[in-house]
Structure 1
Amino acid sequence: MFEPDNSLEALMQAAGRDPAIVPRFYRALLEAEIYVLTPEAAVDPEQPRSLARQEKLNVATVEFQGLTWLPAFTSKKRISDYVKAPEACLGAPARNLFAMLPDANFWLNPLSECQKPLPASEVALLMQGTIFAKLQTADSRT
């Protein structure tokens, strides 16, 4: 049984059950720190490091249903559930990662009981803020 590790995960789980919570989840996601795997980063997996300006970043990807996805995690526990050996990762507010990696498909907590694919089109709507109006319109139709 999935036990939320933080408030973002609790909102993510609740949004899966109640569509009225989805806007709250999206707002929290933008501000929350999430993590992506950076296997070739020159860093000790246990030590924090800042990115240099214009630093190139190699982020781990997975292929699923013909698309490339960036596994992203809502907590360090979700990373250790996904990879068993220590792995270098980059943690940053989701808004910053989405901006740094435009046009990327993100997959929150792959292989977890509480996961969410975020296709690039959905991330773009989220970053533009237009997703909230779309959700409100969809709500008014039901």
Structure 2
Amino acid sequence: MFEPQNKLETLMQAAAQDPGAAPAFYQALMKSEIYILVPEAPVAPGESRALQPQETINVATVDFQGLRWHPAFTSKSRISDYVKEPESCLGAVAADLFAMLPGSNFWLNPSSECQKPLPASEIELITSAKILETIGAPAGRQRRAPRKG
């Protein structure tokens, strides 16, 4: 059973069950710290460091349905649910990660009971705030909301 560990996870779970909760989830996502795997980053386990200007990093990806996705996590404990060996991760505000990796697909909490694929097209709608127009559209127009895991 998925037990939310922070506000973002609570909103993510609510949005998966009720499309009306999606706007609050998307707004919180943009301001929340999320974590991505950076397997080759020089950092000791349990330690953290800041990225240097213009630093190049290798971000982990997985293949799913013919696309490459960056596994991303809504809390540090979700990482250990996904990988069994210690691995370096980068935590940053989602809006900053999306800007740092434009055109990328992200997959929140893969292998979790509460997960959310975020294809690049959806991230573009989120970062431009057009997603709020799309999901708030009058009846008869397309509505999009987070998918259940």
Give the TM-score normalised by structure 1: 0.97
Give the aligned partner of residue 103 of structure 1.
Answer: 103
Shift of 1:45: 2.7
Give the aligned partner of residue 53 of structure 1.
Answer: 53
Letter in 2 for 1:13: Q
Question: CA offsets per residue over residues 84-132 of structure 1, 9 Å max, x none?
Answer: 1111000000000000000000000000000000000000111111111
Give the aligned partner of residue 77 of structure 1.
Answer: 77
* Amino-acid identity (%): 62
Letter in 1 for 2:24: R
Give the aligned partner of residue 26 of structure 1.
Answer: 26
Give the aligned partner of residue 44 of structure 2.
Answer: 44
Distance 1:2 1:56 in 2: 35
Distance 1:67 1:136 in 2: 28
Distance 2:51 2:45 in 1: 14
State the 4+ residue runs in structure 1 displaced beyond 4 angstroms: none
Distance 1:54 1:62 in 2: 25
Unaligned runs of 5+ in 2: 141-149
Shift of 1:56: 0.3
Query: Is 1:109–1:115's contact at 8 Å kept on the other side of the alignment?
Result: yes
Unaligned runs of 5+ in 1: none
Distance 2:45 2:60 in 1: 14
Aligned length: 140
Distance 1:136 1:13 in 2: 19
Distance 2:44 2:103 in 1: 29
Question: CA offsets per residue over residues 28-74 of structure 1, 9 Å max, x none?
Answer: 00000000000000111310100000000100000001000000000
Q: Secondary structure of 1:141's partner?
A: coil
Query: Is 1:106–1:117's contact at 8 Å kept on the other side of the alignment?
Result: yes
What's the RMSD between the two structures over aligned residues? 0.8
